Structure 1
Amino acid sequence: MSTALDPAVTVGAWLHGVVRDPDPAALAAVPGMDGGPVRAVRAAGLAAVVSAAPLTEYGEEALRRNLEDLAWLERAARAHHAVVDALSRAGAVVPARLATVHHDDTRVAAMLAERQAELAAALHRLTGRGEWGVKGYVVPGALPRTEATGGGGGAGAAYLRRRRAELTARDQGQRIAGEAAAAVHAALAGYAAAARRHAPQDRRLSGAPTAMVLNGAYLVETAGVEGFAALVRELADRHPEIRLELTGPWPPYSFVADGPAEPAHPVRREPAW
């Protein structure tokens, strides 16, 4: 947010993303942050797609409070993503960070003019490409198991041997799964135009019963999506130690200069296969 603000302005502009020339049908497809239509602010040969953002809820002080409210944050993330997703299905888009609010359209236009070269280059790089996510989860049954060795010492000693064997198997399993994840990511990155390996998600977020060892994002040519999916299936067969999950296409959150540090897939989708 800018610091020199006109107190007469009561509705700001929530930035969803930047495109070259928005499709009116895409703008009409989803509501903005306030439930009303989104609109385009044009400058420097680009268009910023924004929502009306009442400053009582989306102003600097209000945002600071609301971003601490997880229920509000989830609603805002879903509404923001729905607009960005609609734009990405119509063409290349540079997604904005969540909660990027400008005081008015004049500030939005100034941003477009100031960052014109950077944004135009990003749109050129993203045209004809989409972000695909590949997650890998440990498959315990496919990992080597360490059998407890025989020996005396009674029930207490036998218990300790079993515990040592379980810990050894778990550590070995995590190592093998980690090595498989690294190999899968290297192969997919070699196919994709660009790749990012994000931190694995906690099970509470992923909803998976086993640990995540791969959380990759891959920028893939639209014409090469079938080949990419085939490669994921081949790698899944080659590495039964991990279960691979392919999702997408997503807007290219992971491949913009000011994109989120963490993977930005706020709405869980069913796996692509």
Structure 2
Amino acid sequence: MRTVRMLTAAALAAGGLLAGAGAAAAGSPSANASASPGGGAAGPTEAGTAFRTATPLQPGLRATAEASTGDYLYWVLPLDSGQRATVKASVKLPPAASRHAASTWRIDVYDGLRRRQACTYGAQSATAAKDAASVELSCTLRTVRPGAEPWAHDPLPGSYYVRLTAAEVAKEDLGQPVRVEVSAETRDTGGAFAVDGALAQPLVPGITARLAAEAEGGAAGPAGGDRPAAVGEPDGGWSGGRWSDRWVWTAAGGVLAALAGVFGYSLTRGRGRPQHVPPRG
């Protein structure tokens, strides 16, 4: 009976460890839970026109911009290992009376090496009818991994560039004014996607020169310079994949295995001994 009580208490303690791991993963920093580009706190009010001039955008903020149909609009946001990001865009189109045909809009996401990342789901491309007032786009990326093989195309920690443009539009409609809203939400996936190894540095353009300059006590970038836009980092800095709740699950599994061994031993330790036979007479 005492053994059963000990096993029950230990099992409850292991359950507490697992619950704590889930709570830590749920409580880790992530973007706001707005369901549309119209939600979230206000962010930047402009967009870049190339990778080099991309406007920095933190997850959870809503970026807006006034642009013209046919422009290429760029934003850049930091994504860390274990995060799964969803980028949303809303384009308010010109009045229907001034448009000549339907238009197709597209949103693409590139990593720090400017490799286009695939969308797991979402309306990455959408066609707006001639009389449509707006068009909505969405792209959910794969979970960012802390490391990968050199030949792999896995998303890695670093800067991610969002590009929005009209993929197909009538020539007569080029240059007409539009208003766009872009936001990004992130969700921490925990240790389920953790792997061994991690990048020495996140894939952020210009980060090597910046870290070298900081180590020498100099400026963080070229003097008065054309500093890369993508030097931002997530709240709390880059994790680098050093910690994941997979460690907690492994420890809890070891505890449960040890308890199972103790319980099995307690069931079998009295068997196999010769029974005492009282003397006759």
Same fold (TM over 0.5): no
Q: Structure 2-normalised TM-score?
A: 0.25
Q: Which has the higher contact order (CA 8 A, sep 6+)?
A: 2
Higher share in strand: 2
Higher share in helix: 1
